[in-house]
């Protein structure tokens, strides 16, 4: 993937500018695929992202008129840019979603507090948190492939543990098929509500 960069420069003079746009989009799609499917953003991802960005710059340099028309022309309101604007809008919505998810705001509406600790448990756990002699506790919860919903529910309970114990009890959930090593940090739910 990464070694394609010099080849691209070679061809620049012979190929029409819109090939650059296709290359840019392809690079970004590959980078996105890497982001989604791989645990870490590998060298392939960075390479694809780099190629995408370079191709975009190359297109602007090769066809400045075209690039200018995309931003200022009449088609800006009705044409191909409509697609770009829509894409940007959707990306913005996703960003808002990710931000809100990061806030980790949740509430247990059930009258019986099904997904929260009872008062007695809370007192006991607060005692554990306050006692400097007790070692910190790590909870490890395993979930099968089809138990993601269960995990979402339990998160409330585990967060309650973590919060009530002032961070002394930490927890981590694991999918049964996840091969990566266990890491207890960062924990959700330790932020102040």
Partner 1 sequence: MIEVQNLTKRYGAVPAVDNISFTAHPGQVTGFLGPNGAGKTTTMRMLTGYMPPTSGRALVAGYDVFEQSLEVRRRVGYLPENVPLYRDMTALGYLMYIGEIRGIPNRRDKAYEVLEQVKLADRANSRIRTLSKGMRQRVGLAQALLHDPEVLILDEPTIGLDPLQVLELRELVRELGKNHTVLFSTHILSEAEQVCDSVVIIHRGTIVAQGSPSELRSTLERGGRVFVRTNAPAETALPRLQQLAQVAQVEAGLDGVIITPADPNADPRPAIARAVLENGWDLIELRPLAVNLEEIFLELTRAPEAAAEAEPTPESEVVA
Partner 2 sequence: MSAIFAVFKRELALYFRSPIAYAVAFAMLLFLGILFNGNLAQSVAFNVSVAQQGGGGVTASDLNLAPALITFLMFLIGPLLTMRLLAEEAREGTIEVLMTLPMNEAQFIIGKFLAVWSYYTVLLLLTVIYHLILTLVGVPDAGVAFGAYLGAWLYGGAVLAICMIWSAVTEDQIVAAFLSAATVLVLYLAEVAAVSLTGSPTLANAAGFVRELGLQAHFGATLANGIIRAEDIAYFVLMMIGALFITTRIVETRRWRA
Q: Report, in Å, the least distance between residue 78 CB and partner 1.
A: 5
**DSSP β-bridge partners for residue 139:** 171
| Least Cβ distance, residue 29 to partner 2 (angstroms) | 14
C-beta of 16 vs 186, nearer to partner 1: 16
41: phi then psi, degrees, rounded to nearest 5 = -80, 95
Site string for partner 1, 66-85 (x = CB under 8 A): --------x--xx-------
Give the binding site for partner 2 (CB under 8 A): 36-39, 78-79, 82, 85-86, 89-90, 93, 96-97, 100-101, 103-112, 114-115, 145-146, 148-150, 152-153, 156, 175, 177-179
Nearest-angstrom CA–CA distance, 32 and 28 = 6
State in Å, rounded, how far the first CA of the chain is from the last one.
44
From the centroid of its chain, how far is CA 35? Answer: 9
CA distance 81 to 56: 15
Q: CA angle, corner 134, sides to 129 and 139, nearest 5?
A: 70
- Report which DSSP code applies to 182: P
Nearer to partner 2 by C-beta: 96 or 134? Answer: 96
Nearer of residues 37 and 183 to partner 2, judged by Cβ: 37
Q: Which is nearer to partner 1, 14 or 78 (CB)?
A: 78
Residues within the interface to partner 1 (CB under 8 A): 74, 77-78
């Amino acid at each position: 993937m990464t070694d394609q960069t010099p080849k691209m420069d070679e061809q620049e003079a012979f190929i029409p500018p819109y090939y650059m746009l296709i290359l840019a989009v392809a690079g970004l799609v590959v980078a996105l695929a890497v982001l989604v499917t791989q645990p870490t953003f590998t060298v392939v991802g960075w390479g694809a992202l780099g190629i995408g960005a370079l191709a975009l710059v190359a297109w602007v340099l090769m066809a400045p008129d075209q690039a200018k028309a995309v931003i200022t022309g009449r088609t800006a309101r009705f044409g191909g840019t409509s697609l770009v604007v829509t894409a940007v809008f959707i990306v913005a919505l996703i960003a808002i979603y990710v931000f809100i998810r990061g806030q980790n705001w949740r509430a247990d509406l059930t009258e019986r507090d099904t997904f929260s600790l009872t008062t007695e448990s809370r007192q006991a756990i607060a005692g554990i948190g306050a006692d400097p002699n007790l070692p910190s506790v790590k909870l490890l919860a395993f979930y099968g492939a089809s138990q993601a919903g269960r995990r979402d529910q339990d998160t409330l309970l585990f967060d309650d543990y973590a919060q009530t114990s002032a961070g002394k009890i930490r927890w981590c959930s694991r999918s049964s098929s996840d091969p990566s090593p266990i890491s207890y940090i960062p924990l959700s739910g330790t932020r102040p509500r």
